[in-house]
Amino acid sequence: MLFVDRPVWPGRGRLWSHLVSDVSYAELHAFAELLGAPRRGFDRDHYDLPEERYAWAVWLGAHPVTSREIVARLVVAGLRRPKIRRPG
């Protein structure tokens, strides 16, 4: 199943959502391709989705959830890939 949080994350002059799958990365990549999201939008375990694609993602079947639920779904599915912190 696919999930998307609201576009509230600022970056590069726009607002962004996170798009995830609790099934597989293959499902996530296929859905992102259907949305026209470039592969460079994939970040470890999710796609960064610009605000203008949010409604289309929901219309195509992504379930709107909170940001906390995005993380929880990834953890339960075993698909969470936390950012690696490098000593600086």
The domain spans of the chain are 2-77
Report the C-alpha dihedral over residues 65, 47, 38, 30, rounded to 10 degrees: -70
| Confidence at residue 17, expressed as pLDDT on a 0 to 100 scale | 97
Largest interatomic CA distance in the chain: 43
Terminal C-alpha separation, the chain: 38
In the DSSP assignment, the letter for residue 64 is: E
pLDDT at 82 over 90: no
The string of pLDDT tens digits covering residues 14-71 is: 999 999 999 999 999 999 999 999 999 999 999 999 999 999 999 999 999 999 999 9
Q: For residues 55 and 87, which has the higher predicted lDDT (pLDDT)?
A: 55
